[in-house]
Amino acid sequence: MKVQDAKYVMSNSDYQKCPDPVLPEYAFIGRSNVGKSSLINMLTGKKSLAKTSQQPGKTQLINHYLINDLWYLVDLPGYGYAKVSKTERDKWEKMIGDYLHNRENLICTFVLIDVRHSPLAVDLEFMAGLGEAGIPFHIIFTKADKLKAGHVASQVQAYEQKLADMWEEIPPLFVTSAEKNEGAEAILKTIETYNQSFVKTK
């Protein structure tokens, strides 16, 4: 799939106010500062579609982008340790949870993991929650350019071992580098395959 057109549509704090659920959509989420905006910009080929920031917790709403007039890319607030109050964090968690559990046209959630870190409890717990709720997800490792190839492979393998302890079947994994423009093709191909199934079932 080639992204010909990508445009911002709207931002909401309530999943019920999101665009009509008539097109397939794919959510992107990860810990604060995982490189989500950079990844979204790489996938769409637009340098400033999603606003990048050095400040964790920049994304605070459910952001919808329409891609090729065919599907939505949804940018969700990060989970983890953004410098916000507990009240604010609880509000984000409810907003994210409501969206993930109730959005009927959500096909797959892409969970972003910074490949430089060993498996972290906050990431594993978030994924365990998705698995328990039956919410389909894939994993995208970001910032692969920050490590040597061998180290990237060993980091991914460490995650695979942890995930194998949790489930019989490990979710699909992607390794990316927004800096080097690597990994977009495989993700977009996966989305394209899901889109074809969505069209057939409608």
Q: Which domains, from first to last, does the chain contain?
A: 6-201 (3.40.50.300)
pLDDT, one tens digit per residue, over 174-192 is 999 999 999 999 999 999 9
- Compute the distance between CA of residue 191 and CA of residue 58 in angstroms, rounded to an integer: 26
pLDDT, one tens digit per residue, over 164-174 is 998 889 999 99
CB 187 within 8 A of CB 174: yes
pLDDT of residue 196: 94
pLDDT, one tens digit per residue, over 12-43 is 999 999 999 999 999 999 998 899 999 999 99
Predicted TM-score (pTM) of this structure: 0.93
Phi, psi of 87 (to 5 degrees): -60, -45
pLDDT, one tens digit per residue, over 97-119 is 999 999 999 999 999 999 999 99
Does pLDDT of 50 surpass 90? no
pLDDT of residue 194: 97
